Amino acid sequence: MEAEGLPEPDFSIEQLGERRFPSPLQRIMEVRYRSDNECLLVQPEFDCRIEPDHAPAAAATMELAGPRAQVFFDTGRVRAAIVTCGGLCPGLNAVIRGLVMQLWYLYDCRQVLGIRFGYQGLGNAAQESIMLTPARVSAINGRGGTILGSSRGTPPTAELVDNLERRGIDMLFVIGGDGSMRGGTALWEEIRRRRLQIAVVGIPKTIDNDIPWVRRTFGFDTAVAEAVKAINAAEVEANGMPHGIGLVKLMGRAAGFIAATACVASGNANACLIPEVPFQLEGPNGLLALLEKRLHERNHAVVVVAEGAGQHLVAGQGTDASGNPHLGDIGACLKQRITEHFHSRNLRCAMKYIEPSYLIRAAAPNASDQLYCDQLARAAVHAAMAGKGGLLIGNWNGRLVHIPMQALKGRTSQVNPHGELWFSVLENTGQPRLLD
């Protein structure tokens, strides 16, 4: 669900200059090169009754990712840098490895710097960077976390660009979420203002899967699989005692994709609470009444809540270094309120509370995510070598495309309360359409 009332963004991709060098890929194998004119419709669906013979003539398109026959940089002389920003997510190391392997073996780039601890590593007080080689990254794709470290927040943009220029960096790969992409946008704008030849390409990372114009971010599949384990464990615990309630708090600050998808995949949740769908505790249609009914009928219940849900019940304060609001602890709140409610009514209740967030964030990526990380990394290197910048690699309708970072401004991606995913949640949990 995209932000309403905003005009459709310009999806055109900026270019550093003319591509004058033949791609070195042709020396290795026969490659199907992409043209900048090959695009994907932003909205591929249309009504055949209105347009019986062809798709609508005027339609927004996205540039398809992939190798170009001519590249902008003289490949053997390129100096690249990789930075990981924001919170941890399964697959960060797999993306790092994919970038290094592609740069080294296909584009003859022998200078790849690993920037330490996010954008802070490009500031004046930065720790020394790591020189990345295939030997250094050979076995990291199956490990959780990031060998480069990460952080939130950023030094002044001018300071970062000064250091990019001073260190002779030709291309910067930013692995991060929406805040990191805002930082990448600012870097790109300053680079263009100074007329420097530095490409900035983003690989979108958010465990919440909430970046607009990106259907799937890496690490999401792994996160859902790990979340399912937590829900299933809560069901086992709740079912193993009289009047047991299993409560699971999952990630999801502003979007409930993990909670909703994991509930459907598990099939063991009886209530799913996400930021996009308001709910109440009290009243005949509230969560407490639903739990009373469930315990009376089935003797146990499982509740899954996303961290950003029910913020009207708790008080958060301030923001973090990335500008995200500090959320109130809805998990602790529900644990207390549910327990107090049942005790006040002399009803039996045994609560088991599971919060697996950090276990999920630090998990090793599964095979599906490892493959996806490698695909994203290859597409990012192709884009940077072609001299493109100010973009991120997006997955739109099953294809990898170039998305201008600027297109994210003012938008977010959330679960559609009237869409198929939420309908599936209601069908699987049996909860009322609105718990209010």
For the annotated catalytic residues, the residue numbers are 208
Strands 111-114 and 130-131: antiparallel
Contacts 24+ apart (CB under 8 A), 29-38: 31/67, 32/66, 33/66, 33/67, 33/68, 33/69, 34/64, 34/65, 34/66, 34/67, 34/68, 35/68, 36/63, 36/68, 38/63, 38/64
Contacts 24+ apart (CB under 8 A), 32-38: 32/66, 33/66, 33/67, 33/68, 33/69, 34/64, 34/65, 34/66, 34/67, 34/68, 35/68, 36/63, 36/68, 38/63, 38/64
Strands 300-306 and 271-273: parallel
C-alpha to C-alpha distances, 5 to 58, 186, 210, 410, 411, nearest whole angstrom: 20, 24, 19, 10, 10
Burial of 253 (0-12, 13-18, 19+ CB in 10 A): middle
Strand ranges across the sheet with 300-306: 271-273, 300-306, 244-250, 350-354
Q: Which two tokens stand for residue 174?
A: 């930013």
How far is the C-alpha of 201 from the C-alpha of 384, rounded, in Å? 6
How far is the C-alpha of 82 from the C-alpha of 381, rounded, in Å? 11
Angle at 318 between CA 316 and CA 321, to 5 degrees: 125
- Are the CB atoms for 396 and 384 separated by under 8 Å? no
Percent helix / strand / coil, the chain, rounded to 5:
35, 20, 45
Q: Which two tokens stand for residue 249?
A: 């708090």
Which residue(s) pair with 392 in the sheet? 202, 403
